[in-house]
Amino acid sequence: MSITHVTSLSQLNGILSKSKDKLTVIDFHATWCGPCHAIAPKFESLAREYKNSNFVKCDVDAATDVASEYKVTAMCVPRSSFNSETGGTAVLI
Protein backbone atom coordinates (compact mmCIF):
# COMPACT_ATOMS: atom_id res chain seq x y z
CA MET A 1 0.00 0.00 0.00
CA SER A 2 1.32 3.38 -0.94
CA ILE A 3 -0.46 6.48 0.28
CA THR A 4 1.32 9.80 0.02
CA HIS A 5 0.54 12.49 2.58
CA VAL A 6 0.79 15.87 0.88
CA THR A 7 1.55 19.04 2.78
CA SER A 8 1.64 21.61 -0.02
CA LEU A 9 0.20 22.41 -3.41
CA SER A 10 3.65 22.22 -5.00
CA GLN A 11 4.11 18.69 -3.64
CA LEU A 12 0.72 17.59 -5.02
CA ASN A 13 1.38 19.24 -8.38
CA GLY A 14 4.69 17.40 -8.55
CA ILE A 15 2.95 14.06 -7.97
CA LEU A 16 0.31 14.83 -10.60
CA SER A 17 2.84 15.98 -13.20
CA LYS A 18 4.98 12.86 -12.76
CA SER A 19 2.05 10.50 -13.25
CA LYS A 20 -0.05 12.08 -15.96
CA ASP A 21 -1.40 8.73 -17.14
CA LYS A 22 -2.51 7.51 -13.70
CA LEU A 23 -5.68 7.88 -11.75
CA THR A 24 -5.08 9.94 -8.61
CA VAL A 25 -7.44 9.59 -5.66
CA ILE A 26 -7.20 12.38 -3.09
CA ASP A 27 -8.64 12.04 0.40
CA PHE A 28 -9.18 15.51 1.85
CA HIS A 29 -9.53 15.03 5.59
CA ALA A 30 -9.11 16.72 8.96
CA THR A 31 -7.87 15.31 12.23
CA TRP A 32 -11.10 16.41 13.96
CA CYS A 33 -13.42 14.85 11.32
CA GLY A 34 -15.09 11.68 12.57
CA PRO A 35 -16.41 10.54 9.17
CA CYS A 36 -12.91 11.03 7.72
CA HIS A 37 -11.55 8.54 10.26
CA ALA A 38 -14.40 6.16 9.44
CA ILE A 39 -13.55 6.01 5.72
CA ALA A 40 -9.78 5.77 6.25
CA PRO A 41 -9.69 1.94 6.33
CA LYS A 42 -11.59 1.76 3.02
CA PHE A 43 -9.20 4.29 1.46
CA GLU A 44 -6.25 2.17 2.63
CA SER A 45 -7.92 -0.95 1.22
CA LEU A 46 -8.40 0.72 -2.17
CA ALA A 47 -4.76 1.81 -2.17
CA ARG A 48 -3.70 -1.80 -1.64
CA GLU A 49 -6.05 -3.05 -4.36
CA TYR A 50 -5.27 -0.47 -7.06
CA LYS A 51 -1.49 -0.35 -7.04
CA ASN A 52 -1.28 1.39 -10.43
CA SER A 53 -3.13 4.45 -9.12
CA ASN A 54 -1.96 7.26 -6.88
CA PHE A 55 -3.59 7.55 -3.47
CA VAL A 56 -3.00 10.82 -1.69
CA LYS A 57 -4.17 12.14 1.67
CA CYS A 58 -4.37 15.84 2.39
CA ASP A 59 -5.08 17.32 5.82
CA VAL A 60 -7.06 20.44 4.91
CA ASP A 61 -5.94 22.26 8.04
CA ALA A 62 -2.25 21.57 7.41
CA ALA A 63 -2.27 22.15 3.63
CA THR A 64 -4.60 25.09 3.24
CA ASP A 65 -3.17 25.95 -0.18
CA VAL A 66 -4.25 22.55 -1.52
CA ALA A 67 -7.71 22.82 0.04
CA SER A 68 -8.10 26.30 -1.42
CA GLU A 69 -6.97 25.25 -4.91
CA TYR A 70 -9.49 22.39 -4.96
CA LYS A 71 -12.20 24.49 -3.28
CA VAL A 72 -12.64 22.04 -0.41
CA THR A 73 -15.28 23.35 1.95
CA ALA A 74 -16.40 20.02 3.43
CA MET A 75 -14.82 16.63 3.82
CA CYS A 76 -16.13 13.20 2.75
CA VAL A 77 -17.84 14.57 -0.33
CA PRO A 78 -16.74 12.55 -3.39
CA ARG A 79 -15.95 14.63 -6.49
CA SER A 80 -13.91 14.15 -9.60
CA SER A 81 -11.77 16.47 -11.66
CA PHE A 82 -10.17 16.00 -15.06
CA ASN A 83 -6.95 17.84 -15.80
CA SER A 84 -7.01 18.59 -19.51
CA GLU A 85 -3.38 19.79 -19.47
CA THR A 86 -2.00 16.50 -18.20
CA GLY A 87 -4.76 14.13 -19.27
CA GLY A 88 -4.93 12.78 -15.71
CA THR A 89 -7.99 12.31 -13.62
CA ALA A 90 -8.21 13.06 -9.93
CA VAL A 91 -10.98 11.66 -7.78
CA LEU A 92 -11.41 13.85 -4.75
CA ILE A 93 -12.88 12.40 -1.57
Active site residues: 33, 36
For residue 43, the Cα-to-chain-centroid distance in whole angstroms is 10
The residues with which 92 forms a beta bridge, in sequence order, are: 26, 79
Q: Which amino acid, one-letter code, is at 61?
A: D
Q: Which string of b and e fits 21-46 if b means at least 16 CB within 10 Å?
A: ebebbbbbbbeebeebeebeeebeeb
**29 - beta bridge partners?**
59
